[in-house]
Structure 1
Amino acid sequence: MALKPKDIALRAASALVLAPAAVLAIWAGGFWFTGLIVLGGIMLALEWARMSEPQDWRAVGMAVAAGVIAPVIAAHIGQMSLAFVLLVFGAAIAGLVSNRRGGEGLDGAYGVLYLGWPCILLVWMRDLNADQGLYWTVLVFAVAWAADILAYLVGSAVGGPKLWPRFSPNKTWSGFIGGLLAGMIAGGVMAAWLDMGALTAFWGAVLGLLAALATMGGDLWESALKRRFGVKDAGNLIPGHGGLLDRVDGLMFAVIVVAIGRLIVLMIGGNA
């Protein structure tokens, strides 16, 4: 795929508008970060409903949004066990609503689980410790963004064999490798720059590589979902990117990997 300067410029302009708000919320933490996640969760739920249940997306979207927001709030107040219980119940209720509206119940239930898990883990990671929560949240965003951006730029500039043409005809092996290298470097740099306890620069690079792999996998998984639902983009909210889900699909998978890394460091280094 040839490099398209207009596409890159449009993506960059969108990022310049959205990135500062995300960065400020990450820095502030607490209510502000949770508010960002709640707002994002609502938007993602509506996009999911439009994509999976277009015949009655409003009712399904509200059910999925409620199933995501309730556990996020529970996570914010430190009730992680309750958050996961609410996530399961929210998925069940969204599935029932979807089924009653003539849709596929599993799609409604899966939407809550698909969107809810990373939202809960992001809030948990940011709120866990004042300084460490900030550092680990910065790490996951830095790795996911670096992997996503470099995969696009390298794939556009170099081209070559397609990665998975059946579901994502534009993604290439060159972009995949570029994204992995970018994530590995970002993870190592963040771990070296920030005081992250037992996470040294080497292990930060390893974690960055795994999180970048998850980012690529999340992007491909969303491409497969869009192909299943017969849509090109999850939405049209962000110029040059499509919907919000198109922008954070890789981040949602990277969060899970980094959260596991955070748990390992906690077990090794206590409250570090």
Structure 2
Amino acid sequence: MALNARDIGLRAASALVLAPAAVAAVWGGGVWFLALIIAAVGLLAVEWARMSAPVAWRAMAGIITIAVVAAVVTTHLGRLPTALGMLAIGALVGGLAARLRGLQALNTAYGVLYLGWPCVLLVWLRNDHDPVGLHWTALVFAVAWAADILAYLVGSAVGGPKLWPRFSPNKTWSGFIGGLAAGSLAGAAMAAGFDMGRLTIFWGAVLGLCAALATMAGDLWESALKRRFGVKDAGTLIPGHGGLLDRVDGMMFAVVVVAAGRLVVLWLEGAL
């Protein structure tokens, strides 16, 4: 796939609009970051409902939004275990509500967990009471963005064998390798330049590699979901990208890996 100047221009313009807002909210933390996550939840819920339950998308989007926002706010208040339990209950309620409307219960129940799990973990990572919470949250964005951008650029410029043509015909092995390398370098750079607790440069590179792998797995997984629902993009919100879900699909998987790394470091520091 050759480099497309118009496509790159649209992507760059979208990034110039969205990235500063995300960076400012991550930096500000507190209610600013919470507001960013809540706004994202609402948009993602609409996109998911439109894909998975188009005949009753407003009701399903409302249910998913309420369930996930409740868990996110609970996490912000410092009650992560309770928030995870609330996600499970929200998934159950959402599934039952979908069944009562004659829809597939699994689609709505999965939507609560698929969107809720990464949002809860992002809020947990950014915890204002954690002196390095900002750095760990920034690590998620740095690795996911680096992996995504380099995978696209390398894959477009180099081309070669397709990674998973059945679900994502444009992704290549060259882009996959480029994304892994970029994520590893981003992880090492974050560990070298910022206080990450006991995360060394070497283990930062390893964590970045694993998070980059998760980023691309998340991208492929969303491609498979879109193929299942028969849509090309999750939405039309972002020029050059499609919907918000198309933009953050990889990050949603990467945050799980980074959160696991944070737990390991906290355990090593005796904080658990």
TM-score norm. by structure 2 comes to 0.98
Q: Root-mean-square deviation (CA), in Å?
A: 1.1
* 1:114 to 2:114 alignment: yes
Query: Is 1:59–1:97's contact at 8 Å kept on the other side of the alignment?
Result: no
- Measure the CA separation in 2 of the matches of 1:125 and 1:194: 15
Partner of 2:176: 176
- Cα deviation for residue 271 of structure 1 reads 4.8
- Cα deviation for residue 110 of structure 1 reads 0.1
Ranges in structure 1 where 5+ consecutive residues have no aligned partner: none
1:89-138: per-residue Cα shift (whole Å, max 9, x none)? 11111111211222110000000000000000000000164430000001
* 1:93 to 2:93 alignment: yes
* 1:223 to 2:223 alignment: yes
Question: What does residue range 41-80 of structure 1 map to in structure 2 within 5 Å?
Answer: 41-80=41-80
Query: Is 1:67–1:112's contact at 8 Å kept on the other side of the alignment?
Result: yes
Ranges in structure 2 where 5+ consecutive residues have no aligned partner: none
- Measure the CA separation in 2 of the matches of 1:199 and 1:271: 14
Question: What does residue range 23-42 of structure 1 map to in structure 2 within 5 Å?
Answer: 23-42=23-42
Letter in 1 for 2:164: W
- Measure the CA separation in 2 of the matches of 1:129 and 1:184: 28
- Cα deviation for residue 252 of structure 1 reads 0.2
Letter in 1 for 2:267: M
- Measure the CA separation in 2 of the matches of 1:212 and 1:129: 27
Q: Which moved more, 1:129-138 or 1:152-161?
A: 129-138
- Measure the CA separation in 2 of the matches of 1:107 and 1:229: 10
- Measure the CA separation in 2 of the matches of 1:244 and 1:102: 27
Partner of 1:105: 105
- Measure the CA separation in 1 of the matches of 2:265 and 2:135: 13
Query: Is 2:30–2:128's contact at 8 Å kept on the other side of the alignment?
Result: no
Fraction of identical pairs, as percent? 68
Aligned pair count reads 272
- Measure the CA separation in 1 of the matches of 2:269 and 2:79: 23
Runs of 4+ in 1 over 4 A off after TM superposition: none
- Cα deviation for residue 69 of structure 1 reads 0.6
DSSP 3-state at the match of 2:132 = helix
- Measure the CA separation in 2 of the matches of 1:99 and 1:239: 35
Query: Is 2:118–2:253's contact at 8 Å kept on the other side of the alignment?
Result: yes
Query: Is 1:2–1:156's contact at 8 Å kept on the other side of the alignment?
Result: yes
